[in-house]
Structure 1
Amino acid sequence: MPLRRSRLRAVSVLAVCLAALTPATAGAAADPSGRQALQRQLEDFVHRPGGPPGAIAVLRTEKGTRVVRAGVADIRTGRPPHADDHMRIASTAKAFSGAVALTLVDHRALRLDDTLGMRLPQLPDAWASVTLRQLLNHTSGLPDYSRSEGFLDELRADPHHQFDSRRLLDYVAGRPLLFEPGTQYRYSNSDNIAVALMAEAATHTPYEELLRRLVYAPLGLHSTSLPQGYRMPKPYLHGYDVNPSAPPEDVSEVIGMSGVWASGGIVSTPADMTRFIRGYASGRLYDRKVVEQQRQWVEGASEPAGPGRNSAGLAVFRYQTRCGTVLGHTGNTLGYTQLIAATPDGRRSLTFSVTSQITQSSDAEMLRRMRALQENFVCALLRGKGE
């Protein structure tokens, strides 16, 4: 496939991933049994027609860490996936903006009832009543900038286009709210852009620096960053566009991150994401009162939907599986699909990463199978078979 056509196809896939998705319902797969069951299931998933070229899962319990991997990190070299490989974490980055905002709430630099009109008066008056709380649980009603034709036209014209990350909401500034704030749940990439802007306005500090001070340093994240460009730090898990009619296409560096920024631009590793979700799910970064506010659930699913029954809190989702409940976030972007989850006390965690984009709109059956597999991993984690 010619490079230009290849990139246009990849950007079209990106446009699909940024659009709102309908959650799928996972099938009731058989319980895993024995230490080798997870390995077999992950290999079966990778080798299934249309499956991702590579997958890696990190299970952490009180007894230690287990890494389950299948396929390759790089088709060209055949190198296997590794827990220290970099990867695009997609919308699990929204948990990071949540961590920044909730830590600032704990420090009393922000309040959950602070409004856009109070903190960001330069935004449209029609949005002024939206609160930080509503942004964090996707009940704001903000129109999604990443679905606007203006944004998508620029991305299609130049996938490496350098967007002004702090002006992304300009693409929908002329639009009213989609509904009265707080009355509906609708996942929107605009929400977490606004969260980061509120954090910057409250502290007069760049969001990237807030991430370093409030998240990376306290949780010991040494391989996590928020780049503006399209290059990946080495070594990395190569992300692929998988099409049954053609060989997998490496799309790891097709698009830049300036156009997703606080909504999905972070690059990290499975090892760092394990450290993050253990601290984040347990509320290590802020006190119990903030944790209680974060865990006020509304009906709503992450994108793509996570294992089991989904409900939304403040920049975190509750996944109620047949074996128990974990808290976390999912994400998908060009070449990658992610799940991070942990028990509410943070003692047991799962980081599950695959190197292709799997969504309801692109392959509903593959998403159903992935959610069932993720639930099996959660069951192994909670039943102590993940060590």
Structure 2
Amino acid sequence: MTRPRRRLRSGAVVAAAVGALVAPAAAGTAAPPPPAAAQAPSPSGDDVRELTPAVQRQIDRAVRRVMEDAAVPGVSVGIWTPDKGRYVKSFGVADKSTGEDMRPDLYTRIGSETKTFTVTAVLELVDEGEIGLDDTIGTYVDGVPGGDEITLRQLAGMRSGLFNYSEDDAFTKALTSDPQRPFTPRQLLDYSFQHPVLFAPGKEFSYCNTNLILLGLVVEKVSGRALADYVQEHVLTPAGLDDTLFPQGDEFPEPHAQGYTDQTATGEVENATDWNPSWGWAAGAMISTLEDLRVWARTVATGRLPDGQRMISPATQKERLITPPTTIPGAGYGLGIFDVQGWIGHNGSLPGYESLTVYLPSADTTLVVVLNTDINHAGEEPSTLFGDAITTIISPDHVFDLPAQPAAR
């Protein structure tokens, strides 16, 4: 959810239901993959259990239906239910000009899923006693409107009242007229701070990229490190996310899909693959893969690393997962994290790419969706359309139905 203006916006019953959908994968029992759907090889051998062929076919049909309705070029979907089943497939094309197939192993821009990493870095500093969630932002960053009242907790929870820089007309014009230009954090804040605050701190919910730029600056000031370096050392490396990175500019590791957007100066669809994501910085600049996002989904939702060690203390993780209601029906928002009908995690969108990474604690189930367009369909983000269609099948009592946010994805 990291986009500029118009849409530029840079989660015991279910466990039983999911369990009923799986069967051991064995020769002669699984249906062959449908045409144009690339399946990932099993990472752990023949003992991996797959969703039953019947359920796989339901998901295949649902994914293809959304692709056709929303004109999505390519999408990869991963569903993991430990000891119950998995489903990892790609559909469509990674490059419309060459017809290259979409694949599960491609790097992708993850937009506002970056927020989960930035806020995790903040929470680690809280655990270390370096900062407090109820410290005011003015303690760390000068010139913030109402900075002596807005707390770090309110920034992470989208309740600061600050204006979202990506809704500023001048910012939108600057980005779309030169998509490869770099932006500094201070330049982004300047677009925000020329607007009056929207409400008193803590009084309302308003999804806002400005909040994360400020939190990124807090991490840098307190740690004495560049945000990208701190996140790498204290978040990505401990979590074993070897294929996740915080780019310094427009670099994009190979292999990756080409990304398509209509968030352009003319409104025409263009290839946004090499657009500079610096305008999203701590709110939306990062890159990852389907597999790394699988690992991260459970890590960020539980506060535990893959080896079972704590990334975030239980007390701080509990604070993170307090998700008061928002202006979005059915969704709560905690500290850099959504709760949509029980699914914990975040979505991401910036020109050319969308993603959805969520974890359902009641079923120990992870869902990751990545795709190479951010063009809305009937006012809805395609990542949410996929999430809705898939969870209607695998968790009908917990359907992911997050409405699109008009200004800040």
Instruction: Identify the TM-score tier after normalising by the shorter chain.
Output: 0.7 to 0.9
Q: Is the 8 A contact 1:110 1:199 kept in 2?
A: no
Q: Is the 8 A contact 1:270 1:351 kept in 2?
A: yes
1:293 equivalent in alignment to 2:293: no
Q: Is the 8 A contact 1:279 1:346 kept in 2?
A: no
**What is the CA-CA distance between 1:248 and the residue it aligns to?**
6.4
1:79 equivalent in alignment to 2:96: no
Aligned residue identity for 1:336: Y
Q: Is the 8 A contact 2:5 2:168 kept in 1?
A: no
Q: Is the 8 A contact 2:62 2:390 kept in 1?
A: no
Which residue number corresponds to residue 5 of structure 1? none
Distance in 2 of aligned mates of 1:346 and 1:105: 30
Which residue number corresponds to residue 90 of structure 1? 111
1:338 equivalent in alignment to 2:355: yes
1:352 equivalent in alignment to 2:373: no
Distance in 2 of aligned mates of 1:365 and 1:359: 5
**What is the CA-CA distance between 1:375 and the residue it aligns to?**
2.5
Q: Report matched runs for 1:191-270 at 5 Å.
A: 191-241=211-261, 249-253=270-274, 255-270=275-290
Distance in 2 of aligned mates of 1:208 and 1:330: 20
Distance in 2 of aligned mates of 1:259 and 1:205: 20
**What is the CA-CA distance between 1:319 and the residue it aligns to?**
1.5
Q: Percent identity?
A: 28
Distance 1:365 1:222, change over 3 A: closer
Q: What SS does structure 1 have at the residue aligned with 2:182? A: coil
Q: Is the 8 A contact 1:127 1:142 kept in 2?
A: no
Which residue number corresponds to residue 103 of structure 1? 124
Distance in 1 of aligned mates of 2:234 and 2:8: 27
1:18 to 8, 29, 45: 8
Q: TM-score, normalised by structure 1?
A: 0.81
**What is the CA-CA distance between 1:263 and the residue it aligns to?**
0.7
Distance in 2 of aligned mates of 1:366 and 1:66: 20
1:379 equivalent in alignment to 2:395: yes
Distance in 2 of aligned mates of 1:343 and 1:19: 24
Q: TM-score, normalised by structure 2?
A: 0.77
Which residue number corresponds to residue 45 of structure 1? 66
RMSD of aligned C-alpha atoms? 3.0
Deviations 1:183-211 (A, max 9, x none): 00000010111111111111111101111
Distance 1:144 1:108, change over 3 A: same
Aligned residue identity for 1:137: G
Q: Name structure 2 gaps, 5 residues minimum.
A: 11-20, 22-53, 305-310, 400-409
**What is the CA-CA distance between 1:293 and the residue it aligns to?**
0.6
Deviations 1:129-154 (A, max 9, x none): 11110011100111111122332232
**What is the CA-CA distance between 1:376 and the residue it aligns to?**
2.6
2:136 to 101, 104, 115: 115
Distance in 2 of aligned mates of 1:337 and 1:94: 14
Aligned residues: 346
Distance in 1 of aligned mates of 2:398 and 2:81: 9
After alignment, is 209-218 or 124-133 more displaced?
124-133
Distance in 1 of aligned mates of 2:149 and 2:394: 39
Q: What SS does structure 2 have at the residue aligned with 1:127? A: coil
Distance 1:248 1:314, change over 3 A: same
Distance in 2 of aligned mates of 1:109 and 1:130: 18
